[in-house]
């Protein structure tokens, strides 16, 4: 939360005890700051709203900002920029805001508006300000004091809320796929299709279901129904072209973990045997390695989700200033809005873009 405190021009209120609690754990502590390939297609939300803001403050602007404070991220796979440590990111923010007042360990309980301005009620005091920026994030990661206060404030000023749901999270299995549980800890490279979206990357089997980067990205789009998995994206075969006359066993030919292949075969009560001995029925099942359609039961839930999709409807937010169209002086930025991105630095970039663009148009 941002506002004015006594004679302070700008006040930051945070329920955590230190700055940037979520940044601290981002990217395994390395902090995936941004991505070279940022565009609106990497996000779930209003495309024109997102594009306008990414055009105004993009990944290069983010890199330029951190360079001023001696932070020079390194580009890794898929255009991702990682720092040596999240500590250098937090230090940069501390330097950038050293002249401002912070109230850590203070939860916002409520907000009201009267002729004096916004009255923000904390646990032990209240703060009056002419303007208020809500940057409370989503409701995932409750251990980092995530809460729904941002949504409550928005609703108090007549904003619509798109139902918050877990995203960038593992997916749980239906009974027919419980055979995957015995593969907990095994990962393999796959291609996943859901509706009009395709993601490729590593999938991890767990006792709860399936996870890994490719599944987390799929979860951003998934609402209900089935997904389709190609367990062998680098291998092109079908009923006619595959080497069915081979004497070698299937597990000796396919470049995939043997435990996975055997478990897959067992799910159809098929043995691992010489290729030439498979019946036509068995061949049809083996071909499903390229097009395995599976229903999804749900997700691992908000406490295991990296972000929250849904939030304050962007139709009621100025695309230039991030000011509420329902209440002058009230602003919403970051994850509290109905904008969520894929893995790879996209969500931090959205936080930086929305925050920077709001600041450009913010005056005391």
Angle at 207 between CA 206 and CA 209, to 5 degrees: 65
pTM, to two decimals: 0.92
**pLDDT score for 362:** 77
Band (pLDDT 50/70/90 cuts) for residue 5 is very low
**pLDDT score for 20:** 86
Q: Look at residue 358 and tell me whether its pLDDT is greater than 80.
A: yes
User: In order of start, what are the domains of the chain with their CATH numbers?
Assistant: 2-167+307-360 (3.50.50.60), 171-299 (2.40.30.10)
Angle at 159 between CA 155 and CA 163, to 5 degrees: 75
Q: Are 339 and 44 in contact, with CB atoms under 8 Å apart?
A: yes
Band (pLDDT 50/70/90 cuts) for residue 43 is very high
Angle at 335 between CA 350 and CA 27, to 5 degrees: 65
Q: Is the dihedral of CA 226, 162, 108, 16 positive or negative?
A: positive
Mean per-residue pLDDT of the chain = 92
The tokens of 106 are what? 């203070």
Band (pLDDT 50/70/90 cuts) for residue 2 is very low
pLDDT digits (tens, 9 = 90+) for 143-152: 888 899 999 9
Integer Cα distance of 332 and 334 in angstroms: 7
Q: List beta partners, residue 249.
A: 274
Band (pLDDT 50/70/90 cuts) for residue 364 is low
For the chain, give the percent of residues with pLDDT over 70.
Answer: 96
Phi, psi of 341 (to 5 degrees): -115, 170
181-185: average pLDDT: 96
Q: Going by DSSP bridges, is the β-strand pair 101-104/8-14 parallel, antiparallel, or unpaired? A: parallel
Of 18-32, 72-86, 93-107, 326-340, the range with the highest mean pLDDT is 326-340
């Amino acid at each position: 939360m941002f506002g004015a405190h006594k004679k302070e021009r700008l006040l930051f209120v945070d329920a955590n005890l230190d700055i940037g609690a979520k940044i601290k754990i981002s990217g395994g502590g390395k902090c995936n700051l941004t991505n070279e390939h940022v565009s609106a297609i990497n996000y779930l939300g209003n495309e024109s709203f997102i594009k306008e803001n990414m055009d105004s403050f993009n990944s290069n602007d983010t890199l330029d900002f951190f360079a001023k404070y001696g932070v020079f991220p390194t580009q890794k796979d898929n255009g991702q920029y990682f720092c040596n440590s999240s500590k250098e990111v937090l230090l940069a923010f501390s330097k950038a805001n050293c002249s401002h007042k912070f109230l850590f360990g203070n939860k916002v309980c409520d907000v009201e508006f009267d002729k004096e301005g916004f009255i923000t009620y904390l646990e032990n005091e209240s703060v009056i300000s002419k303007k208020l920026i809500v940057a409370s994030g989503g409701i995932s990661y409750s251990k980092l004091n995530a809460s729904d206060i941002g949504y409550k404030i928005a609703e108090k000023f007549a904003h619509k809320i798109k139902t918050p749901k877990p995203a960038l999270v593992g997916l749980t299995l239906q009974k027919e796929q419980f055979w995957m549980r015995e593969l907990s800890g095994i990962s393999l490279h796959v291609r996943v299709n859901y509706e009009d979206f395709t993601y490729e990357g590593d999938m991890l089997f767990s006792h709860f279901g399936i996870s890994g980067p490719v599944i987390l990205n799929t979860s951003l789009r998934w609402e209900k129904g089935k997904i389709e998995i190609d367990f062998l994206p680098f291998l092109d075969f079908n009923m006619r072209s595959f080497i069915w006359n081979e004497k070698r066993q299937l597990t000796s030919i396919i470049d995939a973990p043997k435990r996975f292949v055997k478990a897959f075969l067992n799910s159809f009560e098929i043995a691992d045997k010489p290729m030439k001995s498979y019946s036509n029925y068995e061949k049809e099942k083996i071909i499903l390695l390229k097009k395995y359609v599976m229903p999804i039961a749900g997700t691992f839930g908000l406490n295991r989700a990296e972000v929250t999709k849904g939030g304050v409807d962007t139709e009621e937010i100025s695309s230039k200033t991030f000011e509420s169209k329902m209440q002058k002086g009230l602003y919403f930025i970051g994850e509290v809005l109905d904008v969520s991105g894929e893995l790879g630095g996209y969500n931090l970039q959205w936080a930086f873009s929305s925050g920077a663009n709001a600041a450009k148009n913010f005056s005391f």
